[in-house]
Amino acid sequence: MSETSEGMQHGGVAAPAGTRPTRVSRTVALLVATNIVLAAALVYVLMQNAQIQAAHKSNFDLLSANIAWMDLDDFLQKQKTMTVSYLDLKQSMLGYMDSQKLSGRYSVYFEDLTTGAWTGIDERETFIPASLLKMPTVIATLKKVELGSLSLDTAIVLTDDMIDYNFGNLSDKGPGYAITVKDLLKFAVRDSDNTALWALDSLLTPDEYIAARAAVGMPYVSQADDLKVSPKSYSNILRSLYMSTYLRRTFSQLALSMMAETDYNNEMPAGVPVGTTVAHKVGYNMYGGYYHDCGIVYAPDKPYILCVMSRNSTLEEADIAIRKISFMTYNYVMTGHAE
């Protein structure tokens, strides 16, 4: 007996050929129905999220963008690391300076880059910047590269008027030596090389140099010897690089990475744990006892600016004092205690 005739014997109605459902077709139908349900659920979730975000935006649109869009757990965790008062740190620094009876005159500026809170000791007092002044030239050169009128791979031939034996070893190469713009930048930042500075200066027009200095908050004067800066004013350069306000991110990153590879590590970097990134620039002028170190310390989750300037000091004293100030600052930022 055939399957069709058996079905008719039991009172069933035989399905026309090719129309009877199979296990495969039932599975496909189930998958389609499941996908429709999931799609509807996804649309619902997206609509709910959009409503939540809209409400969130309206509730927190006056807050910092760094926290306004965080979910609650992330915000509560970040809130634990936020500090808006550093008065105790200032008192600890003053106590250290008084106890050591330092021969030099020291000024300090500190800024928490997560909250903008800051403190300082005579932070507006001005000093001859020495090699700190190399950074505006570096930034102006990178801007020219960013705009496409100069390449990092361009070779520059050193001339007699670029050679400076006062600071750095590039002068040993002598006139006629060819070096790329990128390597000149490295020499200027990493080695604080004077010959590299003059070579970079030769690539800039006065307008390009003035524009860069104005953009990073550095005043322009006709003679470099007439310019004096304070720890607080110099922090504008560091903040500009960190926030990438003048250079595009690629070139701000390049400048900061070179500052993090400097050979001068006896002061700020020596005061923080090994492995902590410190993007900084030193400035030395032994004739007036000027010894400075300014940079960004990338403490875990709490990066900050620290700038210490001195005059009438010695290199030995400045190394010890700036290292100690750096040590106290890092400890306070991370633990709430300077020691």
Task: Decide if 326 is inside a domain.
Answer: yes
d(CA 26, CA 33): 11
Task: Decide if 275 is inside a domain.
Answer: yes
Task: Decide if 116 is inside a domain.
Answer: yes
Q: What pLDDT score does 222 carry?
A: 59
Q: What pLDDT score does 51 carry?
A: 56
**CATH code: domain of residue 117:** 3.40.710.10
Strands 178-180 and 118-121: unpaired
What is the identity of the amino acid at 89? Answer: L
Task: Decide if 4 is inside a domain.
Answer: no
Task: Decide if 176 is inside a domain.
Answer: no
Q: What pLDDT score does 160 carry?
A: 96
Number of domains in the chain: 1
Q: What pLDDT score does 76 carry?
A: 83
Q: What pLDDT score does 15 carry?
A: 46
Prediction pTM value: 0.79
Query: For residue 292, what are the β-bridge partners?
Result: 283
Task: Decide if 63 is inside a domain.
Answer: no
Task: Decide if 20 is inside a domain.
Answer: no
Q: What pLDDT score does 7 carry?
A: 43
d(CA 172, CA 167): 11
Question: Do 305 and 295 touch, CB atoms closer than 8 A?
Answer: yes
For the chain of 339 residues, list the mean pLDDT of each consecutive stretch of 10. Answer: 43 47 63 66 60 58 76 81 88 95 96 94 95 95 97 97 94 97 97 96 94 87 72 96 95 96 94 97 94 97 96 97 98 92
Q: What pLDDT score does 12 carry?
A: 43
Which domain, by its residues, includes 253? 87-150+203-335
Q: What pLDDT score does 109 carry?
A: 98
Task: Decide if 53 is inside a domain.
Answer: no
